Amino acid sequence: MKRIILLFLFIPVLIYGQDTIRISDLGLSPGSRVNAVPFVNKAMDKCKGKTNVVLVFEKGRYDFWPQYSNEKDYFISNTNYIFPRYCVFVVEKTKNLTIDCDGSDFIFHGRLQPFTVDSSENISIKNVSIDWEIPFGAEAEIVEVNPGYFDLKIDTKQFPYVIENNKLFFVGEGWKNLWGGVKWNDPMQFDRETLEVTAGTDDDLLGENWEKKYNARELCEGVVRITYHNTGLLKKGNYFVLRHGYRDHAGIFITDSKNVHLENINMYSNLGLSYLAQYSENLTYLNVNCLPNPHRKIISGHDDGLHFSNCRGQITVEGCTMKGLMDDSFNVHGTYVIVSEKVNDKTLVCKFPHFQSIGMIWARKGESVAFIDGQTMKNYGTGLVESVQLKTPETFEVTFKDVVPKEVKTSDALENISWEPDVTIRNCYFGNHRARGVLISSGGKIIIDSNTFESSGSAIVFPGDIKSYFENGPIKDATISNNLFKVSCLTSMYMTCEAIISISLEVPAFDAKNPPIHKNIMIFNNTFELYDYPALYALSVDGISFSNNKMKYSNMHKPWHPRKFNLTFEACRNIEVKGNVIEKDVLGKNIKLLQTKPSELKLAKGQGFLIE
Amino acid sequence: MKRIILLFLFIPVLIYGQDTIRISDLGLSPGSRVNAVPFVNKAMDKCKGKTNVVLVFEKGRYDFWPQYSNEKDYFISNTNYIFPRYCVFVVEKTKNLTIDCDGSDFIFHGRLQPFTVDSSENISIKNVSIDWEIPFGAEAEIVEVNPGYFDLKIDTKQFPYVIENNKLFFVGEGWKNLWGGVKWNDPMQFDRETLEVTAGTDDDLLGENWEKKYNARELCEGVVRITYHNTGLLKKGNYFVLRHGYRDHAGIFITDSKNVHLENINMYSNLGLSYLAQYSENLTYLNVNCLPNPHRKIISGHDDGLHFSNCRGQITVEGCTMKGLMDDSFNVHGTYVIVSEKVNDKTLVCKFPHFQSIGMIWARKGESVAFIDGQTMKNYGTGLVESVQLKTPETFEVTFKDVVPKEVKTSDALENISWEPDVTIRNCYFGNHRARGVLISSGGKIIIDSNTFESSGSAIVFPGDIKSYFENGPIKDATISNNLFKVSCLTSMYMTCEAIISISLEVPAFDAKNPPIHKNIMIFNNTFELYDYPALYALSVDGISFSNNKMKYSNMHKPWHPRKFNLTFEACRNIEVKGNVIEKDVLGKNIKLLQTKPSELKLAKGQGFLIE
């Protein structure tokens, strides 16, 4: 009886507390194939001014074209700058909004950003698959390999192409991309059976300057002959991914927002980073996936999968699958900015060092900033921000409350330490993709637990990069536990792939005499399926434990990695290795200490590790 | 020497007299696949205010999407009313503009009107092919015919479809059309060899209510089984055209304009009438064509080819090819409006009687209007317009300078006789299309000379229609000479197809006692390839001559037409038949007089015609 009374008391709250807007009430039916964008605009207008709304799509297919999309000027981290960005769902200055798509398929056409969450709080997007009619990347089957050429079978409906002046161009709705027209878009080969990047192949599949040297000719509809010298790496029957085009829109873009919840989302295609959050706080992703649409074999997102730039609070990623991505599966980092001018003892001019991360409001009044030696990544002090003024998209002026350290000099870096998220990655899968699995650059509490990795390069990388991509910051507290690193891990070489777990530094002048940059990394209860030597490489860590892990042997692939040690510690302190179980056939069974005093290693007995 | 001097005198005129705007200078290159529409808008803006401009496209492919197209509110004759119409090129209030596309391919995507010429003078559009990536009509090959079903092979790239609830839907860029969802869109069968509408088949190919009765099922990609009782008319190997969707945009739309010149244009597809002019004056079309794109077999325009509604001055159509149209090739007519109320002795309320011809400013001050008996089409007076006021899209009020005739009554019609063009059709081809060839309803000087006809229905129709489509007016002076009517003519039945040349009246109550409605029709030096009887049917003509024509026999098809006479004159006066040559096997060799006194026929001797 009490329960019933309670129920009756709650019902009005449920009914009156929340507005439900049904897209069907605005005239849009699933499967109609009309451009859904004007209906979405109408729905978002209706949401404005309300603070507790659920926007509901009836299950089905919806199509989206650029017409009537919102033209926005955004600087999007790790993404090329273009204006305008064509945005479909724009959740802007909104609180407590849920977009529930009921398992619908959202099919996009042309250059678009499906979802944008900007300056909003308590936003939930769920139950949707995102795909493009014509994806921004093509896959083919290798049907012939010969000394002077190879033939590709391409589904011309999904991946329409034209050949002009002996070059292959992919064409879509409002775009045309030369295969080989964009740097870094090297082709990839995937194994016919495992759908993994073919072991022993990587970005260098066709060697240097392939894009200038190849010729394309159509043999018949859907079969293209690529005239090119045989690099010996291509195999008939395998899949060949032809990457093309710029990254200039994200899949789901979250900026300057708080408490964003994504759930039950499949991203089958896009033209940039799949899930990109920047300057946002408290992000929860449950069953949020990148994977190839069942009617494709390999490709999903154009670049990274889950990407967090300059975020803070708690990032939780659980039960997510990252497959078929053409770049790293997961990346969380801040952005180092470089001092280009000392205006006075409180004011610096800084520049964004990477062209794909510019134009951001990098810090706000009251935030803490660390001063970092640009050569060694040494932190030599902190300051409180008084104001930040963007001067150009590439440069800004920052004034501190107090005088900045005397050491500050041009080419030193700043790190915004007010934006260092805690990260939990649990029960996820990372595989069938190019490049690295999980990249972490954050001083927050990092938990990588109970995941399965089949990443082509390293499974986990702590890159510590102040040289190439300038993605801060160093690790201060990380746990890597209960993960399964399957035999496909580290079958290809990419940047900083020193071992399955690769803790590294990208600095102009590393000096082992300085105190370590990374701290407190616990690696335990993981299973490594090893066909090669390197399981762990750790550079410049103070406090690292490798314990209770299983190391199994597989002869699935040929060992190839230049590093011939299971565990390598370089310039590390306070190392603990204990309780690990190593199968007898595991190669090496050894530990290498580089620039590390043997006394820094506490090695438990009876594991069979040899110190070299 | 003189020539050189003249040349030097002219060059500055050529250079300074005309502005040339190159679309490439505005940043658009051929073959780029980007949406050309914003560049076109920029170009049209640049043309504004100038009076002598050539807009030049470099030869190549250009693509057009609805994004950034001009959203206009037009009433378009013989076309469904929708708002907005999405218009790409809009030439508005412009003088002396040439758009020269240098032989380019313009590929449209989605529901668009490629060219609109509105309230402009001396406009020339030339050297362009117009097509759609996904056309608004589908063609298939009949691969199996069985008592209970037939199978269609459909190119899913050109004609993508989905099947839902056992019904076939064609889908395109922003649209989805149920096959059978729009009245009149009956399917058509075309002969595999000749590509003509299969002799003996027409709109009734599948009988009544086929759209409700059929079931569709996909056997494999691109093969669809239509479960349906066998009408005995389908033949394996033939082509089957699945018409679908509404006509709501024209291909080239000319309204309220003067001196428009079209030249060297191929229209491969569209979603309405191909070349539609209304309330315009002096129109010259040279080598202006509708035909299937070489990568298709049958279909070109969705409906009519060359259509002129309420035009005046000289219409010249020369060297044009009309193939693959799903409605009449050529139609020139005015619009009868029906008197719905006599407000006072000078003012009438009129309504547009056909839903696809509404909203027009039907007449202007000073124009002459004829008063027409709504039952018999008898003209019983004229009046001068003082003013016209649109009341709703369907009705308007017209006030005359003088008192209107006393006879004017509700349901009588008005004809605007100030808008009756002279028409010359020369050296054209009309064939491989549904319905009739050339329809003329104009009291101007009509010349149909040196054309070739392979129309499915009648080759030439003077419909005189005040009952069905209300397309005025009667013929006053027509010449049909030197034409070749090939054996495919009149192999199918459509409205008013009484003979290869069918001069008719669609009136509620025809009375042979009234004076004839049509006048002065000269038919000479033509060649008729006849497999059946009827070459000419003439109803209600005063002054008709059929002379020096050749009538050949062919056994290509079986005779089927209910009219068993070569020449039929009904309610005619002043008939002349002379100098004709009839091959011996021609069926009938006879003339039928209906409600016509034998004394009205002057038949020259020795031609072999029997009067029945």
Closest residue of chain B to A170, computed from CA coordinates: B33
Among B477, B481, B447, which Cα is nearest to B579's?
B481
Q: Number of helices (H) and strands (E), helices first, in chain A?
A: 3, 52
Pairing type for strands A95-108 and B85-92 reads unpaired
Whether A32 contacts chain B with CB within 8 A: yes
Which residues of chain A make contact with B176, given a CB cutoff of 8 A? 31-34
Whether B171 contacts chain A with CB within 8 A: yes
Residue pair A300/A267 in contact by the 8 Å Cβ criterion: yes
Q: Number of helices (H) and strands (E), helices first, in chain B?
A: 3, 51
- pLDDT given for residue A15 in this prediction: 46
Picking from A28, A32, A33 by the largest number of B CB atoms within 10 A of its own CB, the best residue to mutate is: A33
A72 to chain B nearest CA, in Å? 16
| The pLDDT of residue A255 is above 80 | yes
Whether A41 contacts chain B with CB within 8 A: no
| The pLDDT of residue B484 is above 90 | yes
Residue pair B314/B424 in contact by the 8 Å Cβ criterion: yes
- pLDDT given for residue A364 in this prediction: 95
B153 to chain A nearest CA, in Å? 17
Spatial neighbors of A17 by CB under 8 A, at least 6 apart, are A52
- pLDDT given for residue B1 in this prediction: 45
Contact between chains at B66 and A63 (C-beta distance less than 8 A): no
Residue pair A294/A323 in contact by the 8 Å Cβ criterion: no
What's the sign of the alpha-carbon dihedral A24, A27, A28, A30?
Answer: positive
Picking from A61, A65, A158 by the largest number of B CB atoms within 10 A of its own CB, the best residue to mutate is: A65
pLDDT digits (tens, 9 = 90+) for B193-214: 999 999 999 999 999 999 999 9
A176 to chain B nearest CA, in Å? 6
Closest residue of chain A to B172, computed from CA coordinates: A33
Closest by Cβ to B156, choosing from A32, A157, A174 = A157
Closest by Cβ to B32, choosing from A35, A66, A176 = A176
Whether B33 contacts chain A with CB within 8 A: yes
A301 to chain B nearest CA, in Å? 22
Look up residue A557 and give its two tokens. Answer: 């692939």
Which residues of chain B make contact with A65, given a CB cutoff of 8 A? 65-67, 110, 173-174
Confidence of residue B13 (pLDDT cuts 50, 70, 90): very low
Picking from B28, B32, B35 by the largest number of A CB atoms within 10 A of its own CB, the best residue to mutate is: B35
CATH of domain A337-416: 2.40.30
Confidence of residue B50 (pLDDT cuts 50, 70, 90): confident
- pLDDT given for residue A469 in this prediction: 86
Confidence of residue A3 (pLDDT cuts 50, 70, 90): low
Which residues of chain B make contact with A63, given a CB cutoff of 8 A? 174
Residue pair A133/A171 in contact by the 8 Å Cβ criterion: no
Among B134, B536, B518, B82, which Cα is nearest to B299's?
B134
d(CA A475, CA A541): 9
- The stretch A205-221 carries a mean pLDDT of 97
- pLDDT given for residue A17 in this prediction: 61
ipTM, interface predicted TM-score of the complex = 0.92
Which residues of chain A make contact with B67, given a CB cutoff of 8 A? 65-68
Picking from B34, B67, B246 by the largest number of A CB atoms within 10 A of its own CB, the best residue to mutate is: B67
Closest residue of chain A to B34, computed from CA coordinates: A174
Contact between chains at B174 and A33 (C-beta distance less than 8 A): yes
pLDDT digits (tens, 9 = 90+) for B489-517: 999 999 999 999 999 999 999 999 999 99
- The stretch A42-57 carries a mean pLDDT of 92
Which residues of chain A make contact with B177, given a CB cutoff of 8 A? none
- The stretch B448-472 carries a mean pLDDT of 94
Among A519, A526, A316, A544, which Cα is nearest to A422's?
A316
Confidence of residue A14 (pLDDT cuts 50, 70, 90): very low
| The pLDDT of residue B11 is above 80 | no
Q: Cite the beta strand spans of A319-467 per DSSP E.
A: 321-323, 330-335, 337-342, 347-351, 368-372, 379-390, 395-400, 413-416, 422-426, 429-431, 438-440, 445-449, 452-454, 460-462
- pLDDT given for residue A402 in this prediction: 97
d(CA B477, CA B445): 5
* A window 510-549, beta carbon within 8 A of B: none
Closest by Cβ to A157, choosing from B32, B157, B174 = B157
Closest by Cβ to B35, choosing from A32, A156, A174 = A174
| The pLDDT of residue B15 is above 50 | no
A67 to chain B nearest CA, in Å? 4
d(CA A75, CA B229): 62
Rounded to 5°, the CA angle B434-B280-B343 comes to: 100
The mean pLDDT value of chain B amounts to 95
B298 to chain A nearest CA, in Å? 22
Contact between chains at A176 and B109 (C-beta distance less than 8 A): no
DSSP one-letter code for B9: H
Contact between chains at A65 and B65 (C-beta distance less than 8 A): yes
- pLDDT given for residue B398 in this prediction: 97
| The pLDDT of residue A7 is above 80 | no
Give me the residues paired with residue A169 across strands: A162, A178
Spatial neighbors of A464 by CB under 8 A, at least 6 apart, are A377, A441, A473, A474, A475, A503, A504, A505, A506, A507, A517, A518, A539, A540
B86 to chain A nearest CA, in Å? 11
Closest by Cβ to B33, choosing from A31, A63, A175 = A175
- pLDDT given for residue A280 in this prediction: 98
Which residues of chain A make contact with B66, given a CB cutoff of 8 A? 35, 65, 67
| The pLDDT of residue B28 is above 80 | yes
Closest by Cβ to B67, choosing from A31, A67, A157 = A67
| For chain B, domain boundaries | 2-133+247-273, 138-242, 337-416, 421-611
- The stretch B56-67 carries a mean pLDDT of 98
- The stretch A469-483 carries a mean pLDDT of 93
Which residues of chain B make contact with A66, given a CB cutoff of 8 A? 35, 65, 67
Which residues of chain A make contact with B31, given a CB cutoff of 8 A? 164, 176
| The pLDDT of residue B10 is above 60 | no
- pLDDT given for residue A390 in this prediction: 93
Q: How many residues does chain B have?
A: 612
Q: What separation in angstroms does the CA of B543 have from each of B255, B339, B396, B438, B501?
A: 34, 31, 37, 21, 16
Confidence of residue B341 (pLDDT cuts 50, 70, 90): very high
The mean pLDDT value of chain A amounts to 95
Among A79, A89, A490, A495, which Cα is nearest to A301's?
A79
| The pLDDT of residue A379 is above 70 | yes
Whether A93 contacts chain B with CB within 8 A: no
Spatial neighbors of A225 by CB under 8 A, at least 6 apart, are A144, A149, A150, A151, A152, A216, A217, A218, A219
For the entire predicted model, the pTM comes to 0.94
The terminus-to-terminus CA distance of chain A in angstroms comes to 74
pLDDT digits (tens, 9 = 90+) for A101-126: 999 999 999 999 999 999 999 999 99
* Cβ neighbours of B233 (radius 10 Å): 16
- pLDDT given for residue B49 in this prediction: 80
Contact between chains at A33 and B109 (C-beta distance less than 8 A): no
Whether A67 contacts chain B with CB within 8 A: yes
Closest residue of chain A to B67, computed from CA coordinates: A67
Contact between chains at A34 and B67 (C-beta distance less than 8 A): no
| The pLDDT of residue B12 is above 50 | no
Closest by Cβ to B171, choosing from A33, A66, A172 = A33
- pLDDT given for residue A34 in this prediction: 98
| The pLDDT of residue A12 is above 50 | no
Closest residue of chain A to B68, computed from CA coordinates: A67
- pLDDT given for residue A51 in this prediction: 83
Confidence of residue B48 (pLDDT cuts 50, 70, 90): confident
A35 to chain B nearest CA, in Å? 5
Whether B175 contacts chain A with CB within 8 A: yes
**What φ, ψ does residue B123 adopt, rounded to 5°?**
-115, 135
- pLDDT given for residue B17 in this prediction: 62
Whether B110 contacts chain A with CB within 8 A: yes
- How many CB pairs (< 8 A) connect A and B? 51
Among B331, B340, B395, B332, which Cα is nearest to B362's?
B395
